[in-house]
Amino acid sequence: MSFISNTMSPFFVLIILSVLSLSSTISLDSKSTYIVHIKHQNKPDIYSTYHEWYTATLSSLSSLSTTDFDSNSNSNPLLYTYTTAYNGFAASLTSQQVDELLKSDYVIGIYQDTLYQLHTTRTPEFLGLQTHSGLPKGLVNETLNKSLYDVIIGVLDTGVWPESKSFNDTGFPAIPKRWRGECESGKDFASSLCNKKLIGARSFSKGFSMAMKNKNDEGSETIIKSPRDTEGHGTHTASTAAGSYVTNASFFGYASGIARGIAPQARVAAYKVCWADGCFSSDILAGMQRAIEDGVDVLSLSLGGTSAPYFSDAVAIGAFAAIKKGIFVSASAGNSGPTPESVSNVAPWITTVGAGTLDRNFPAYAVLGNKKQLTGVSLYSGKGIGNKPVSLVYNKSSSLCTAGSLDPKLVNGKVMVCDRGSNGRVAKGEIVKKAGGVGMILANTADSGEESIADKHVLPAVAVGKKDGDTIREYVGSDPNPTVVLSFGGTVLDVKPAPVVAAFSSRGPNTVTPQILKPDIIGPGVNILAGWTGVVKPSTLLTDTPTSPFNIISGTSMSCPHISGLAALIKAAHPKWSPSAIKSAIMTTAYTLDNTNTTLHEASVGAVSTPWAHGAGHVDPQKALSPGLVYDASANDYVTFLCSLNYTLEHVKTIAQNPNVNCSRKFSDPGQLNYPSFSISFGSNKRVARYTRTLTNVGDANSVYNVAVDGPLTVNIIVKPSELVFGKVLEKKRYTVTFVSKKDVAIKAAFGSITWSNSQHQVKSPIAFTWSSK
C-alpha cells in the first residue's frame, strides 16, 4: 500500500516478519509485540473463553501478575485475542517470557510483530463503467440495482474522512440487516458521522501503540487513535473502490469532472490499521478479524511487506479466514518495480493487483535554449515563470537535490535540474525553492527509466523520463548559457499508448510458490483522482499550505481498490460465486493490447511487458461480469495446495485454522491447483510438465468452446481435449495440458497462453516458463 515518491510517506518503513529464534539477542527486560499461534482445541474446560485462557496463561509468566491485566492498566500485555482471522493472540513480551511460552505444548509458534508498508476520475470511463450503478449499459435491472446496495467493501487502511462528499448517502436505502459492524466514536470522530454509505468505521492501534511505547516515542501521544484519517491514503482508497458521485471534482483544476468509485452503490466499512509508523501485523489481523465478523463481502488491502512463507504471513492467514467465509480479498502487489521477484501478497487465495496508466495525462513542457521542446508531466497549479528564458543549472555533485546539498549562489533565480531518487520528488522542489531557485526539472535516471509521475510541486516543475533527462543534462553541459522556459498543459485525455505497466509496480516471479504466477492482474494506478482528508496537504510538505478535498496520487495502493470495486459489482451480479470464481472472471477476461492495438508495454524502459509485470493483463470490467467459464477453487483445494508445499502439518493448520487437517490429499505439484494461470519451471531433469484444470460453465447452456495455444518455439503445448461441450449451466469439464520443453534451451524465460473461446467469450490463461540448470 505504498504510494510512490511524494505519495509514499517516509514514515512507512518496512520491517521483515521473522520467526522468533530461541537465541534472540533482545534484552530480557525489553518488550516487543509478538503474535502467538495456539492450538485452539487445547483450551481447558475451566475457561469459558479464549480471552480468559490467554489471560491466565500470560499471568503465569515471569514478572507478570494479575494486576497487570486490569482493563484500565497501561501495562496489560494482552493486546488482541484472535479467534476468526487467526488462532491465538498478540501480546507484549520479553524474550524470557517468549521462551517460557515456547515450552508449552499448546503453543505452535511465536512471530514478532511486522510493520507493513502502504502501497491511490477518469478511471470508470476508461474501464467502460459509465452508468450510475457502475455496471455497463444493458446489464442493469431492478433486482441487480437493489443487489448493488447490499454489497459491503471493507477497506483496511489509514481510516476515513467521513465528511468527504465521496461518502454522501443521498438516495441510499436502509443498511443491510445482516450488517454486524458499527461506527466507533473516538478522538475527532463521532459515531454519528457514519451514514447509509459509510456504514462502519473502527480503529486498531494496540500493536502500533506498544511499538511506540517500547521505543519511547512521545510523539505517539498526539496520534488520533480513532477511525479519523489523518494521512489521506485510506480515504483515497475507499473512495476509489466505492465513492459516491461528486460533481465538479478536481485537484486544483486538474482532472476536473465527476468523481466516483468503481462500485458507487456499494457500502463502505473503514478499518484503520495503519498509523504514523505504518501498519503492524497485530493490528492488521485484528482489523481483518473484525471485518470478517462484521459481515463484509470484499476486503481491500493496499498494504504489504516482503514475501514470506504463508504460515508467517499475517495478511495471507487473515485472507484465508476471509475466503473461507466467501469474502473476496484483493491486495496491492507492491511498489518495488521494476525489480524482479519483488511482488508481495502472493498467496493464491489473494487477488494480487499491479498498476498501469490511464489514457489521461497532465503534460508540462520544457523548451530549451536550443529550441528543443521536451514533454513531461506536472500538477503544479501556481504562478509560472513566464515566457522569457530562465537560466538552467545542473550540478552533478548535488544532482539529487537533497537537504543542504544546494549552493544558493548557484541556484538563486534559476531553474535547477534534479536527478530523481534518494529523497521525495516534491521534497526536491522544496529544497530548490529554499535555495532560491524559481523552477525545477525532475529528470529520471536509469533506475526509474521513462516513467514520469505527476506531482503537485511547490514551485514550477516538470518531470521527464530518462531519455529527455539525458538530453537536458547534455545540453546544460555543452551550452555556455543554458536556458529554459517551463509551461503547463493542464489535463489531456485519450493519451496513447494506454495502458502502460507502471515502472513502480512490483514484478514476479513469485518467490514463495513459483508454481503460482503473480501478480494476477493490473488496474489503473497512476495519477488517480480520489477523495482526500480535509487537513492533510496533498504534497505532505509543511510549507505547502493549500488543501483539497481530492488528491491525485499513484501506486498499487490505487490499483487495488479498483479491483475491489469491480469484485463488488461481480458479487452483486453473481451473489453465489466464490471468491476464486470472481478472481477467475477478472483474470481470464483481461486484455493484453493497449489502445493502439499493440501488446502492452512497461514504462521503465519501454519494452514489451510480460505476465511477470501484468499478470493476466489489464482488467476489463465489462467482460469480467460475463466470463463464460471460470476456474473455481474451494478452501479445501487451497489446503491441498498447502499440503503440497512441504510445510509441516502444524504450519498447514496455522493457515487453514483447522485442527482436523491431516494432509491425506496433496498435489504432486503445487501447480496442480485449479488456478487461472500457469507457471512452469523446467530443469535439466524436468522437461515435461502436465496439469489438469477444471472449468465451470457460468454462461449459457449448450455452449461449445475450442482451445487455442500460444507459446515459444522452445515448448510444445498439447491440450486434451481440444473442445469442451457444456450442456448445462454450472456444468464442469476437465482438460489436461502437457508442456514439453526442447533440449538445451538457451533462454531463461518465455511466455504464452491458453485460450478457450466461442463466438461470445474468450477465456484466456497466461503461462510463464522458466529454465534452470537444476
pLDDT band at 117 (very low <50, low <70, confident <90, very high): confident
Contact 416, 393 (CB under 8 A): yes
Q: Is the preceding omega at residue 519 within 30 degrees of 0, hence cis?
A: yes
Backbone angles phi, psi at 146, to 5 degrees: -70, -40
Q: What's the rounded Cα separation, in Å, for the pair 559 and 569?
A: 16
**If we measure between CA atoms, which residue out of 562, 586, 665 comes closest to residue 578?**
586
Is the pLDDT score of 13 beyond 60? Answer: no
Question: Average of pLDDT values for 300-317?
Answer: 93
160 versus 249: the higher-pLDDT residue is 160
Predicted local confidence at residue 539, as pLDDT: 54
Can you give 507-545 as a three-state secondary structure string?
CCCCCCCCCCCCCCEEEECCCEEEECCCCCCCCCCCCCC
What's residue 199's pLDDT?
98
219-235 tens-digit pLDDT: 555 688 899 999 999 99
User: What dihedral do alpha carbons 19, 21, 22, 28 form, nearest 10°?
Assistant: -100
Separation between Cα atoms, residue 231 and residue 191, nearest integer Å: 20
Rounded Cα distance between 548 and 188, Å, is: 19
Cell numbers given for 677: 494461470
Q: What is the pLDDT of residue 407?
A: 95
Exposed/middle/buried for 714, CB within 10 Å: 0-12, 13-18, 19+?
A: middle
Q: Could you give the CA distance from residue 687 to residue 682 in angstroms, rounded to a whole number?
A: 6
Give me the amino acid identity at 139.
Answer: L
Whole-number Å distance between alpha carbons of 128 and 622: 7
pLDDT at 16 over 90: no
Each residue's pLDDT tens digit, 254-274: 888 889 999 999 999 999 999
For 296, the grid coordinates are: 463484509
- Helix segments in 8-149, DSSP class H: 50-59, 95-102, 123-126, 142-148
Using pLDDT thresholds of 50, 70 and 90, give the confidence band for residue 534: confident
Contact call for residues 87 and 322 (beta carbons, < 8 A): no
Reported as a pLDDT band with limits 50, 70 and 90, residue 20 is very low
Residue 24 has pLDDT above 50, yes or no: no
Catalytic residues: 157, 233, 557
Distance (Å, rounded) from C-alpha 430 to C-alpha 265?
40
Q: Are 600 and 500 in contact (CB under 8 A)?
A: yes
- The three-state secondary structure class of 59 is helix
E strand or H helix at 155? strand 152-157
Query: Given the C-alpha cell 454519528, which residue does it identify?
Result: 192
Average pLDDT over residues 203-211: 92
Cα–Cα distance measured from residue 488 to residue 246, given in angstroms and rounded to the nearest whole number: 26
The x, y and z cell numbers of residue 558, run together, are 490505487
What mean pLDDT comes out for the span 564-575? 96
Q: Which residues face 391 on adjacent strands?
A: 483
3-state secondary structure of 39: coil
User: What's the number of CA atoms in the CB half-sphere (13 Å) around residue 772?
Assistant: 4
* 8 A C-beta contact, residue 168 and residue 239: no
pLDDT, mean of residues 298-318:
93
Coil vs helix vs strand at 608: strand
- Residue among 318, 327, 322, 314 nearest 279 (CA): 314
Give whole-number Cα distances, 712 to 690, 732, 745, 749, in Å: 17, 30, 11, 10
Peptide bond before 670: cis, by omega within 30 degrees of 0?
Answer: no
Strands 298-301 and 152-157: parallel
Residue 214 scores a pLDDT above 80? no
Distances (CA, A) of 639 to 115, 349, 633, 643: 27, 11, 10, 6
C-alpha dist (Å) from residue 502 to 4, 425, 440: 11, 17, 23
- Three cell numbers written together for 284: 492488521
Dihedral sign, Cα of residue 523, residue 526, residue 529, residue 534: positive
CB contact set of 34 (below 8 Å; sequence gap of 6+) = 20, 90, 91, 92, 93, 98, 110, 111, 112, 113
Please give the angle made by the CA atoms of 628, 630 and 632, to the nearest 5 degrees: 155
Nearest CA to 294 out of 198, 155, 181, 149 is that of: 181
Report the alpha-carbon distance of residue 85 to residue 352 in Å, rounded. Answer: 19
pLDDT of 544 strictly over 60: no
> So what's the pLDDT on residue 131?
52
To the nearest whole number, what is the mean pLDDT of the chain? 89
pLDDT value, residue 139 = 57
What was the pLDDT predicted at 196? 98
pLDDT average, residue stretch 125-139:
57
DSSP lists the bridge partners of residue 766 as 753
Q: Is the pLDDT of residue 768 over 80?
A: yes
**Per-residue pLDDT at 370 exceeds 90:** yes
pLDDT exceeds cutoff 60 at 66: no
Task: Report pLDDT for 224.
Answer: 87
